[in-house]
Structure 1
């Protein structure tokens, strides 16, 4: 569940939404007016906010989506900008659904029923109990099924379309593996130094990221930039950068912070490398970086040179393998208790609950595995939270970094990731071999991850630019008669 694999993340997101009330798609129109084609008559279609190719988005859809966001306890912009942002998101979704239909992407009734059954089981409910819980939220079960069906279709279409745009050559994989091998066997690391001529440099970069949705209005963009610039000013002071990021994320859960780890320049996003090209170790980038996904505050934690071994400097290349070979790695067996992100559970509540479980384990008044079986919201719960043997890159960065800092038997403080809040305990560690085949799988996954965000943003812009969209009376809420 903690794999970086995109499909697993999408399915995890669907499972989280499956137990909550979220916006459905309801089409409302005045049938006596749909035949009119002039702008003035189109504007009189009751409830239509935008015409999208051959379909449309209603004001009721906007209202429903806003209500769903409010129920989730998400920090929202002002009402006017929120409606514009939600409308733009619905337009993008409408375009994707239309294209998916044209490409024949469908979810059959039998398949949908199986998925709902799996969601119910994940929430430890029978099908009937899960149906009753959905109805109790005020949503009809048929509407829930239609919304879930569309979510799955959107996920499959996005995965197919974006994956098709990502091209990874064998040469890229070979170069990625070669860099890792040179880094591991080259030796002679020098910290906080500039690379010598012909030397190979690695840079440890951390970021605080403020996301901005595609199509966000100027005021939302300006507010995000203002917030990023304020964080940049704070980061230039005498503060711990990651602690600053953690505090910002606690105040606004949409903000992300992470240590990217040591990467060669070609493994960093080009925007990042250009911003920190001349920034020394321990220094913050001079300016906020704007990407298609939002605003980034960057700090170079360290720079190091992977210098050649003495034999190489004398002209010998024998110390660096020229053919792929197995690489020794450390694998860790750990277990965890997961509290998923969901409506009604604040970060403070999740952190407090997990801290209580940690205190019980440390005081030996409770067993970690039993607590995981009882309280964890992950598929590993029946196994006491045990995740099995995991190697580098198998887990999301926040989880892996926290796990690697633990001694055997030690229990972490609560850790936040994209999936929710975790309490982690390390059980064992062992040395293993990363085979050449696994190295190539890892290299492809890492390269794909690096390319995915840019490919996704390019794809969204392409969809929007090629669609025929006409915004109508989107600012007003739906009429009382439509509710």
Structure 2
């Protein structure tokens, strides 16, 4: 838990304020702590690159040995530097009072005092002042991205209607509507879906092999007589870490290069021949459609009245979970340690079959479900707070969780049953809106980063040498 809070120490290299510095020659710049690149009025040092690499090694990440790592990290630092500079110009700031509150919240989530947290930061090899600056930068970056990208995404009712129609056709076996293909040599857009099996950068060889084995099995299944959408949904149901995603129509330059190389010669409705390996994990890809680029406006294909009428709410299914819980509310006289210890005791009794979960909930749960043995009824995606839902989704039927903390207090959770259920009209549209927003955000975010990089003044000086090496 603590590492989640302290990771910000290594997550972002601190922006250095050089706005008041005079313009100097390249030879002088090279001597400022080993500058790797000049970015507008600031710079990225070779030591910042070294720090990122050291942090990755400390986390046990598998790093490439072909010399590309330093260049990749430099590009990431350049983008972060540009964002921080632009955010400053836009007046986005984090006051000391706000920063103190954020640090206090981090310490509280780690169940330690601020003084103890500060001591742990220093023990990790950093100064607390540096940690504060890195954390401040992190928050500024998040706020800037949210304002510049997420806040500008617009979703129309027509897009929602089309999304529902397409998913209904796919789930009924009709597949996604095919478009007119691009003529040879003409620009095109490709609609790609993926099933993503993540791997932890610090995972051992065995875990990575298991992920690869799962990806290979999904690829074999995808090539068989099975609906890709349903295959992805089932894989995600079995393992919540696995994600299914439709990337939407993108021109080749907007697709990850690894993806495009894998599906370059793959036709619409076909699965890529190989599993794609990226630093994040394994990707099973299917080309849903290829079409000619529409010049001018780029409207979504409109559903016909017949297709729209077939998009009845019952045609989109979601996984619902019936669970029960024991809640100990946040209150004076009950600290986190005591609440967690009490719930762990109840958990051990249930696992040892010396007590019934429902009876314990009736006696000790502190919410309205207590009289019903803690039963919450059938719950779908988004019905519960994220911390509770994530913990619940990881449980098998009959399994009891470890104590889970949310804004309401501490919970012990047991899953009773799962089922596929039909979305109501309102829930169906909420689901569609969220899926479209996720798709649009990824594309808009990548476009935004590309624009930031293209409009900045960047001069790369020396990325290959470590900070301790002599400049070239």
TM-score normalized by the length of structure 1: 0.56
User: What is the CA distance between 1:427 and its match in structure 2?
Assistant: 3.2
1:76 to 43, 63, 67: 63
The residue number in structure 1 matching 2:268 is: 277
SS in 1 for 2:439: helix
The residue number in structure 1 matching 2:344 is: none
The residue number in structure 1 matching 2:100 is: 113
User: What is the CA distance between 1:81 and its match in structure 2?
Assistant: 2.4
Structural mapping, 1:362-401, within 5 Å:
364=353, 390-392=379-381
**1:157–1:367: structure 2 CA closer, same or farther, 3 Å change rule?**
farther
SS in 1 for 2:68: helix
User: What is the CA distance between 1:235 and its match in structure 2?
Assistant: 7.6
**1:79–1:72: structure 2 CA closer, same or farther, 3 Å change rule?**
farther
Aligned-partner Cα distance in 2 for 1:108–1:195: 50
2:73 is the alignment partner of 1:86: yes
SS in 2 for 1:450: helix
SS in 2 for 1:80: coil
2:34 to 30, 47, 50: 47
Q: Which runs of 5+ in 2 are unaligned?
A: 180-190, 200-210, 233-240, 289-304, 326-346, 359-373, 402-411
The residue number in structure 2 matching 1:130 is: 117
Describe the superposition over 1:363-415 as per-residue Cα deviations: whole angstroms up to 9, x where unpaired.
Answer: 5479999xxxxxxxxxxxxxxx999964146699xx989959954x2469xxx
Structural mapping, 1:57-76, within 5 Å:
57-76=44-63
User: What is the CA distance between 1:441 and its match in structure 2?
Assistant: 2.7
Aligned-partner Cα distance in 2 for 1:390–1:44: 60
SS in 1 for 2:37: strand
TM-score normalized by the length of structure 2: 0.57
**1:153–1:236: structure 2 CA closer, same or farther, 3 Å change rule?**
closer
Aligned-partner Cα distance in 1 for 2:378–2:132: 37
**1:444–1:400: structure 2 CA closer, same or farther, 3 Å change rule?**
same
Aligned-partner Cα distance in 2 for 1:474–1:26: 18
The residue number in structure 2 matching 1:426 is: 415
User: What is the CA distance between 1:77 and its match in structure 2?
Assistant: 1.9
Q: Which runs of 5+ in 1 are unaligned?
A: 1-11, 212-227, 246-255, 302-315, 337-357, 370-384, 413-422
SS in 1 for 2:415: strand
How many residue pairs end up in the alignment?
Answer: 359
Aligned-partner Cα distance in 1 for 2:177–2:96: 63
SS in 2 for 1:125: coil
SS in 1 for 2:438: helix
Aligned-partner Cα distance in 2 for 1:153–1:38: 31
Aligned-partner Cα distance in 1 for 2:456–2:148: 16
Provide the alpha-carbon RMSD of the alignment.
5.7
User: What is the CA distance between 1:285 and its match in structure 2?
Assistant: 2.0
Structural mapping, 1:230-379, within 5 Å:
258-260=243-245, 275=266, 277-279=268-270, 284-286=271-273, 296-298=283-285, 320=309, 331-334=320-323, 364=353
The residue number in structure 1 matching 2:429 is: 440
User: What is the CA distance between 1:468 and its match in structure 2?
Assistant: 0.5
The residue number in structure 2 matching 1:467 is: 456
**1:39–1:294: structure 2 CA closer, same or farther, 3 Å change rule?**
farther
Aligned-partner Cα distance in 1 for 2:309–2:31: 73
SS in 2 for 1:56: strand
Describe the superposition over 1:164-188 as per-residue Cα deviations: whole angstroms up to 9, x where unpaired.
Answer: 453311211233345566778xxxx
User: What is the CA distance between 1:72 and its match in structure 2?
Assistant: 1.8
Aligned-partner Cα distance in 1 for 2:355–2:144: 46
Aligned-partner Cα distance in 2 for 1:64–1:197: 49
Aligned-partner Cα distance in 2 for 1:68–1:159: 26
SS in 1 for 2:285: strand
Aligned-partner Cα distance in 1 for 2:4–2:77: 20
The residue number in structure 2 matching 1:159 is: 146
SS in 1 for 2:44: strand
**1:173–1:238: structure 2 CA closer, same or farther, 3 Å change rule?**
closer
SS in 2 for 1:64: helix
Aligned-partner Cα distance in 1 for 2:394–2:192: 17
User: What is the CA distance between 1:157 and its match in structure 2?
Assistant: 1.0
Aligned-partner Cα distance in 1 for 2:394–2:307: 33
Aligned-partner Cα distance in 2 for 1:164–1:208: 27
Aligned-partner Cα distance in 1 for 2:355–2:8: 31
